[in-house]
Amino acid sequence: MTFDHPLARHTPDSAVTRSLLAAAMENQGAPNFGGMSGSERDKWLRRYLVQRCYPVVVDAAHIWDRWTNIVYPRVQQQKAGNDGSDPEEVLRRAAEIYYSENRFVVRHDLLPHFLDGAWSNITVAMLVRNITVTIDVELCNIRKEGRAIAGQLERLSHLGVDKTIAIELLGSGPLNGSDWATQEAIRWLSPIVRSLMERAFSDFRILKVTPNGKRKELGPYWHKLGDLARDRTWDGDECFDVTMRKQIQSWAIQDSTSM
């Protein structure tokens, strides 16, 4: 059974979609950008393209596709504005606002397609600032797909360091990631996660997320243990934490071809 991201239950795209379609398809049509100042244009674009409360959950098609397929063709019919702006400039600015000011939740298998989107010389990878990549550890066959998933996540390492990035391992089981499916995912992904941590992004996290929306930060498992810490006596959750750190130190230096 496919794990639905908790945020998807709020259908975060729906409110923006209704507003945008109303502006595009009802009597208003697309606004006359040529008659707007730059600040007025940006205010209109933010109103219909930026979601303040919830991230945009990207699943094949999302609000940007509706913009380019419905609103933009009408904008193309407009003449250049008094400020010299033209339809291509409006599209460029809309892309900047949409991708830099929204937060995105993207399935791992859609990540390359999402980042490769481009308009003129602008790519999504250049614009996006806040992205969460989800991996359903119970749906995936990690033994068969682990190398491919690691390759998909490797695309994140090419983004600028001014990004906020999270990887969410979705599945049931304990929040500490001690279930078999999460353990297998961590084993395969340890090298790329360590590499991403070393990139020093503005914010980078890896979390376990359960179907009821509970979450736990797993990043500390990648922290090294000092010599004194290794000699301590541990119990309970602390013992598991130490075990995970030791395992990940070993897993993170393994080449995926040896797994």
Give tens-digit pLDDT for 39-70: 888 888 888 788 877 788 886 455 666 666 66
| Residue corresponding to tokens 């066959």 | 141
Domain boundary assignment for the chain: 1-102, 105-259
Please give the residue that has the higher pLDDT: either 13 or 198: 198
Which residue type is seen at 18?
A: R
**Band (11; pLDDT cuts 50, 70, 90):** very low
- Please check whether residue 221 is in contact with residue 250, taking contact to mean a CB–CB distance below 8 angstroms: no
pLDDT digits (tens, 9 = 90+) for 156-186: 999 999 999 999 999 999 999 999 999 999 9
**Dist CA 213 CA 138 (whole Å):** 16
Q: What is the DSSP letter of 69?
A: I
Environment class of residue 140 by beta-carbon count within 10 Å: exposed (0-12), middle (13-18) or buried (19+)? buried
**The two structure tokens encoding residue 13:** 């795209």
Q: Is a pLDDT exceeding 50 seen at residue 119?
A: yes
Mean pLDDT score, 221-243 = 64
pTM score of the predicted model: 0.78
Model pLDDT for residues 190-227, shown as the tens digit of each residue: 999 999 999 989 899 999 999 988 999 999 899 876 64
